């Protein structure tokens, strides 16, 4: 079965520092991969998606992610953190065997220190 593992339930960085949120998936076939962000008391907003085109995917708010098949990873990065980036981030996969449902990782709570 597909699964997604996000390493680190909490990540804390200083404002202006690099943000790196880790995601690994388990699948024998490269799936479709997504990163979503959830701000407090809100729904999930799509940051970016990988659907077998370019391996480096650029998203909204300055985030990007790189698909590495050899490492089965899809880590999310942002060069310079902003206070407004504080939120929970979810990695998700879909598409195996034609299934469209999203399978989510456990989430990573990002805290930005001033």
Partner 1 sequence: DSGVTQTPKHLITATGQRVTLRCSPRSGDLSVYWYQQSLDQGLQFLIQYYNGEERAKGNILERFSAQQFPDLHSELNLSSLELGDSALYFCASSGDGRGVGEQYFGPGTRLTVT
Residues that bind partner 1 (CB under 8 A): 32, 34, 36, 42-46, 49, 51, 90, 92, 94-95, 99-107
SS3 per-residue string spanning the chain:
CCEEEEECCEEEEECCCCEEEEEEEECCCCCEEEEEEECCCCCEEEEEEECCCCCEEECHHHCEEEEECCCCEEEEEECCCCHHHCEEEEEEEECHHHCCCCEECCCEEEEEEC
Nearest-approach distance from CB 49 to partner 1, in angstroms: 5
Nearest-approach distance from CB 93 to partner 1, in angstroms: 10
Judged by beta carbon, residue 24 or residue 51, the one nearer partner 1 is: 51
Nearest-approach distance from CB 17 to partner 1, in angstroms: 27
Structure tokens at 67: 């698909």
Judged by beta carbon, residue 42 or residue 70, the one nearer partner 1 is: 42
Judged by beta carbon, residue 73 or residue 94, the one nearer partner 1 is: 94
Nearest-approach distance from CB 104 to partner 1, in angstroms: 4
């Amino acid at each position: 079965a597909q699964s997604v593992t996000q390493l680190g339930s909490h990540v804390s960085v200083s404002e202006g520092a690099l943000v790196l949120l880790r995601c690994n998936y388990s699948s024998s076939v490269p799936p479709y991969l997504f990163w979503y962000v959830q701000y407090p008391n809100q729904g999930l907003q799509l940051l970016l998606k990988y659907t077998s085109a370019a391996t480096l995917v650029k998203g909204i708010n300055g985030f990007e992610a790189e698909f590495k098949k050899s490492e089965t990873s899809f880590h999310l990065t942002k060069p310079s953190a902003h206070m407004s980036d504080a939120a929970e981030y979810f990695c998700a996969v879909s598409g195996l065997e034609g299934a469209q449902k999203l399978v989510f990782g456990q989430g990573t709570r990002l805290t930005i220190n001033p």
